[in-house]
Amino acid sequence: MNDSESLEFAEPYLQMTCIDPADDTDPAVLAEFSRYYTEVHTPDVVRNNPGIRRAYRYELSVPDTNGGFGPKWLSLYEWASRHGAQVFVVRAEDPAGSWRPDYLPEPPIWMGVGRGPRQWGRLMCNKLGESGPSDGPPVAIVLEGIDPPADASKADQAAFRAFYGSESSLDAGNDLSYVRVIKYEFEELGTKPGEATDRPRYLSIYEAGAETAAAFARGAVAPKEQESAPRVWRHRQIVWRHLYRRISTCIYPSARYTARML
């Protein structure tokens, strides 16, 4: 494994594509769809969009106990620049289709599973900070969606954003035995929301090892409050918190690409 393959969540922009099939979908159909998405579709997207450095697929393992929506599958694409992401959006949304990449034809199974009743759609976010460099692909990630208080003033929102990406906020994740913490802010760039409306303003990704993931599943990992945090942070809204386990990785370093199931 070279240096490019050992990194994860290392680029400045992250795209999330979310799929949530109907609850009554045949398990055999789900398995076939997941295989196609991993072995064919994801490498096809990476190959046709050179600005994408890495792509991963994650599957929901522990949903938020408060009922916040979490799709069954997440496809995460790392972009090297905002310009690359902008080009992708222009090509994807070209009404005539003349700018769209020459993707492989979608199989019949695609429409039955890939267009489920609840979607986040396609979301873009930019990185605000990280607790340290990537030390390899994590076993699992905890996704936490956060919003400032509904009554926050402009000054409060600025203070919230400043603290959110600060070293103090990032260190809090490490205190919880997470391997690494990455903080993002959602952008309107390329956002293609589905029927699910609980998209927050901020996204925290906590990389977890096997023991921490197991502890999260038991409810034994909970955020710690920081005494130095501003009041607006202490009154933040946790929109949802989900645990996802990594199921595949697709990498495109320079002229070579590899895809592998885990």
Q: Which CATH number characterizes residue 134's domain?
A: 3.30.70.100
Q: What's the predicted TM-score (pTM) here? A: 0.87
Measured CA to CA, the distance from residue 36 to residue 260 in angstroms comes to 12
Contacts of 106 (CB under 8 A, 6+ apart): 114
Helix (H, G, I), strand (E, B) or coil at 238: strand
What residue has token string 């034994």? 220
Q: What is the pLDDT of residue 92?
A: 77
Tell me the C-alpha distance between 146 and 198, whole Å.
10
The pLDDT assigned to 176 comes to: 66
Stretches in the chain below the pLDDT threshold 70 = 1-6, 95, 97, 112, 114-120, 171-176, 189-198, 222-227, 252-262
Task: State which residues form the domain around 111.
Answer: 3-261
What's the mean pLDDT when you consider all of the chain? 81
Question: What is the count of structural domains for the chain?
Answer: 1
Distance (Å, whole) CA 262 – CA 259: 10
